[in-house]
Amino acid sequence: MNRSKHQQKVIRNYYDNREAIALQRAQEIVSELYLSEGKSRQRHWSHLQTHLAKLGVAPETIQHLVERDDPQLVASLVAKLGRG
């Protein structure tokens, strides 16, 4: 499939910024975790797991965070990831 130069640039930019996008989305989901309950909270945890994996967080760490169900722990991890 042939893509235009513009399409190629959009795709390249997405992959160049994939980590920043995942970090921003993880930060947004942490905020949602503080406010959600029940099925909504479970859905946020599911999305958060995906974004943390994209950021290179170990599966054991992700599982620990899910089991603890403590948004504050996740917030501190995401803050560390944001700093470097």
pTM above 0.85, yes or no: no
Say whether pLDDT at 73 is over 80: yes
Binned at pLDDT 50, 70 and 90, residue 1 comes out as confident
CA distance 84 to 80: 7
Is the distance from CB of 54 to CB of 24 less than 8 angstroms? Answer: no
pLDDT digits (tens, 9 = 90+) for 8-58: 999 999 999 999 999 999 999 999 999 999 999 999 999 999 999 999 999
